[in-house]
């Protein structure tokens, strides 16, 4: 990044870049070599997408008594999409998903960044803490869900700790209160995914050139100034990647949450994934599910494209 | 501006002693080169001056002021890193403005100072360029400007030319020396390249294995090396050293080099300094200061290799302990297998005690 390179002569530079046809030939060979893989990828991504698109404009369900390929007979002229626009439960699930994301992702980011900053320096017992810190990420989400389900029972450890802290018995019914249940599932998500944020951000942090930080110090910058003017700008790309990964993942939040609350009480913790799951397994209206899933995919794709654009620009800036 | 005094400076990393003990006085406005092979302790010394590392023992004084416990941001030291450590995510202007901005200078003040320093370093047209795609001499100027804007009393440069290819180094050396004349700051320059040290420094401190070997002007260390290490390290190729014993002859004191025969008589003052001492010595002379002689008044040695480097020709003579290199005009008529008879210029001969490695000084 900051390595100093000197071209000995312009001719030498030219010679590397423009050997006649070499780049084109390389590209062609690369294309031929990856062709089988590309066909495979195209098939496994394009086929389900087209199938989904097809089903989403029909009333087809597994109980229709006919294969999905015959769904054209149940064509309902985009009724699924108009229903979707009017589906209050869908919009509230979407809003809830957004709330969870707006709370969890920044919390995970800030915690992860703080931990990464801590772990960028040496301290006694660092390796042990490092291992412990990464453990939540390795716990199977379903197990984590069950763990938090137990923790948040009204006779569970969370209330026990609160009791001993306040001195009077606390029996909060965490998972049956609409607001507290949402908080509980967010706590579980933050617990499980902060380590990933930490890991990615630590990788970015140790990649910040040491000598530039030293140079800033010698020029009189205090630790906070160094962090803001050198460390953060250098980490921009990796921060965007970390946020993009977590935004996309968090949007699909399901397993831990479903085991803890099943989307309840009522629909108080029902996110998009939970709603889709219920529609799929309980209501069995697959045409409608396909329409929702497609709509979500479009939204997420827009987010991803935006993130990639920012990333490309950040890379240009930070290089 | 400020003088630097290093007193009994010691640095240990665990069991490893990077700097055994160092006493050095650098005058105000002086350009001092710390020269030595890698691992000699020169960078450690510089890092301690900058405050990046704490000395294990001894003192660092800037003028009269003891620097113990003064953090690196408060020492008033400008530091140019080996790879310049330019903030690549900023423009040249932002790089230059970094120091004053961090110290909370007013916007107008910053603009004025950046403008002045950019003018001085001819960076004005480049101010709004991103710093990640600049050529290496521009990077050097930005690095110097970024430090110079803080008006540091002392400038430290850590091998700033080691990433630069040979052809460009000459340009950069000249530029750097001119800049030092402009700023008139005390400069400490760390390098393993003797050519850089010789061409730029007012004085050179030669170091090896954590020990200061010699301090002197470029000509002093070249002409009168204090010991065998300096004699071999300075000069390209280094000084020739041949083991022998001083012997009295009818022509005066000579050195008996064993199978190579005896040397021409030593200069009178040197011979006087050596009287009494009869242990083994190393007979030294510069490769540039030997001439070919026709009669037998010299050392006869077989030619083992001829390096024609353009302006001059380096001729390798003899083998093993009795090997020397000599530098002649480029058209010298010697070929491998010939026997050359050489005579060192009498005034250029230096003699070292073979046991201690120290120079035996005339007078």
- Interface predicted TM-score (ipTM): 0.77
Q: How many CB pairs lie under 8 A apart between chains A and B?
A: 86
Residues of A in contact with B89 (CB under 8 A): 233-234, 317-318
> Would you list the DSSP string of A197-260?
HHHHHHHHHHTS-HHHHHHHHHTT--HHHHIIIIIHHHHHHHHHHHHHHHHHHHHT--HHHHHH
> Would you list the DSSP string of B327-352?
EEETT----TT-EEEEEE-GGG-EEE
State the average pLDDT for chain B.
87
Q: B73 vs A1: CB contact, 8 Å cut-off?
A: no
> Would you list the DSSP string of B59-118?
EEEETTEE-TT--GGGS-EEEE-TTTT--TTSBHHHHHHHHHHHTT--HHHHHHHHHHHH
Pick the residue with more confidence: B98 or B259? B98
What pLDDT was estimated at residue A319? 47
What pLDDT was estimated at residue A287? 84
Nearest CA in chain A to B163: A4
What pLDDT was estimated at residue B213? 93
What's the rounded mean pLDDT across residues B167-177? 81
Q: A218 vs B136: CB contact, 8 Å cut-off?
A: no
Interface residues of chain B, partner chain A, Cβ below 8 Å? 50, 52, 72-74, 77-79, 81-89, 98-99, 102-103, 132, 135-136, 139, 146-147, 150, 163-165, 167-168
Best mutation target among A4, A12, A239 (most B Cβ atoms within 10 Å) is A4
Residues 6+ positions from A68 with CB-CB distance below 8 Å? A51, A54, A55, A60
Instruction: For chain A, list residues with pLDDT below 70.
Output: 1-22, 314-319
Residues of B in contact with A3 (CB under 8 A): 83, 163
Q: Using CA of residue A137, residue A143, residue A144, residue A145, what is the dihedral sign?
A: positive
Q: B150 vs A219: CB contact, 8 Å cut-off?
A: yes
Query: Which among B84, B89, B99 is the nearest to A4, CB-wise?
Result: B84
What pLDDT was estimated at residue A17? 44
What's the rounded mean pLDDT across residues B251-272? 85
* Alpha carbon distance, N-terminus to C-terminus of chain B: 38
What pLDDT was estimated at residue B222? 93
Which two structure tokens, joined as six digits, stand for B52?
């990046």
B325-337: pLDDT as tens digits? 999 988 888 889 8
Give the pLDDT band of residue B267 (cuts 50, 70, 90): confident
Residues 6+ positions from B54 with CB-CB distance below 8 Å? B48
Nearest CA in chain A to B101: A221
CA distance A107 to A105: 5
Q: According to DSSP H, which parts of B237-343 are helical? A: 268-274
């Amino acid at each position: 990044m900051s390595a100093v390179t000197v071209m000995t002569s312009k001719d030498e530079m030219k010679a590397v870049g423009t050997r006649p046809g070499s780049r084109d030939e390389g590209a062609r060979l690369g294309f031929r070599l990856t062709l089988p893989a590309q066909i495979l990828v195209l098939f496994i991504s394009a086929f389900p997408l087209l199938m989904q698109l097809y089903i989403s404009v029909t009333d087809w369900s597994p109980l229709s008594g006919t294969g999905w390929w015959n769904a054209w007979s149940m064509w309902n002229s985009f009724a699924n999409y108009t229903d979707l626009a009017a589906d209050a439960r869908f919009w509230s699930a979407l809003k809830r998903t957004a709330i969870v994301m707006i709370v969890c992702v920044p919390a995970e980011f800030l915690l992860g960044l703080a931990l990464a900053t801590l772990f960028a320096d040496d301290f006694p017992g660092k390796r042990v803490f490092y291992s412990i810190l990464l453990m939540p990420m390795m716990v199977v989400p379903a197990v984590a869900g069950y763990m938090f389900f137990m923790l948040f029972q009204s006779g569970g450890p969370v209330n026990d700790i609160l009791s001993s802290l306040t001195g009077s018995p606390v029996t909060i019914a965490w998972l049956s209160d609409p607001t507290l249940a949402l908080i509980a599932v967010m706590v579980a998500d933050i617990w499980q995914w902060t380590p990933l944020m930490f890991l990615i951000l630590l990788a970015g942090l140790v990649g910040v050139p040491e000598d530039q930080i030293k140079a800033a110090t010698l020029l009189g910058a205090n630790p906070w100034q160094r962090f803001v003017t050198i460390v953060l700008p250098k980490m921009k790309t990796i921060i965007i990647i970390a946020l993009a990964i977590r935004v996309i993942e968090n949007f699909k939040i399901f397993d831990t949450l479903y085991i803890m609350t099943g989307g309840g009480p009522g629909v108080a913790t029902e996110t998009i994934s939970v709603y889709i799951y219920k529609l799929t397994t309980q209501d069995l209206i697959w045409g409608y599910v396909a329409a929702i899933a497609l709509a979500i995919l479009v939204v997420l794709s827009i987010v991803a494209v935006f993130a990639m654009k920012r990333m490309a620009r950040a890379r240009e800036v930070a290089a | 501006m400020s003088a630097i005094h290093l007193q009994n400076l010691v640095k240990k990393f665990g069991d490893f002693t990077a700097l055994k003990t160092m006493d050095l006085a650098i005058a105000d406005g002086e350009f001092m080169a710390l020269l030595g092979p890698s691992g000699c302790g020169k960078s450690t010394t510089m890092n301690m001056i900058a405050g990046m590392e704490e000395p294990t023992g001894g003192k660092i004084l800037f003028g009269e002021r003891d620097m113990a416990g003064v953090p690196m941001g408060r020492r008033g030291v400008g530091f140019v890193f080996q790879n310049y450590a330019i903030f690549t995510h900023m423009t040249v202007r932002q790089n230059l403005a970094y120091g004053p901005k961090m110290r909370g200078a007013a916007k107008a003040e910053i603009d004025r100072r950046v403008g002045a320093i950019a003018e001085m370093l001819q960076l004005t047209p480049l101010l709004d360029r991103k710093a990640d795609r600049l050529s290496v001499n521009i990077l050097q100027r930005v690095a110097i400007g970024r430090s110079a804007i803080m008006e540091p009393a002392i400038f430290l440069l850590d091998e700033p030319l080691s990433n630069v290819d040979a052809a460009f180094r000459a340009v950069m050396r000249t530029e750097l020396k001119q800049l030092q004349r402009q700023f008139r700051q005390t400069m400490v320059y760390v390098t393993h390249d003797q050519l850089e040290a010789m061409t730029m420094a007012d004085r050179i401190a030669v170091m090896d294995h954590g020990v200061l070997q010699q301090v002197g002007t470029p000509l002093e260390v070249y002409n009168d090396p204090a010991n065998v290490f300096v004699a071999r390290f300075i000069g390209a190729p280094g000084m020739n050293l041949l083991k022998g014993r001083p012997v009295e002859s009818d022509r005066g004191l000579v050195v008996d080099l064993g199978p190579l025969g005896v040397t021409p008589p030593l200069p009178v003052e040197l011979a006087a300094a050596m009287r009494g001492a009869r242990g083994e010595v190393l007979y030294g002379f510069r490769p540039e200061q030997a001439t070919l002689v026709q009669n037998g008044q010299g050392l006869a040695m077989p030619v083992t290799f001829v390096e024609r480097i353009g302006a001059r020709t380096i001729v390798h003579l003899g083998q093993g302990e009795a090997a020397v290199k000599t530098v002649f005009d480029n058209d010298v008529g010697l070929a491998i297998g010939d026997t050359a008879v050489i005579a060192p210029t009498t005034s250029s001969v230096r003699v070292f005690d073979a046991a201690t490695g120290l120079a035996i000084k005339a007078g």
